[in-house]
Amino acid sequence: MTKKKIAMCICILALVSACASNSVNRLSMNADSPAHDFMLPDQDGNMVSLSGVLQEYKGAVVAFYPKDDSRY
């Protein structure tokens, strides 16, 4: 996987993690709380997990572009 693809996967994972935390009781969350593990497909359809990314990198950022039609 190229660095660009890895960066995109990391961006997607972080955004989903941030959105998922909205449903969790905010009183129990703080900056030191780890995100829940989840899996998402990358741009090639390969499944990528947050825990897998965090084994290789110190952090993750997820970017989501719902209106991006560049693949079609």
Where helices occur in 21-65 by DSSP H, the ranges are 50-56
- Written as tens digits, the pLDDT of the chain (72 aa) is 577 778 777 878 777 776 665 555 555 556 677 778 999 887 788 999 999 988 998 888 877 777 666 655
pLDDT value, residue 70: 64
b/e burial code for range 6-38 (CB count within 10 A of at least 16 → b)? eebbbbbbbbbbeeeeeeeeeeeeeeeeebeee
Q: According to the model, what pLDDT value does residue 47 have?
A: 92
Q: What is the pLDDT of residue 19?
A: 65
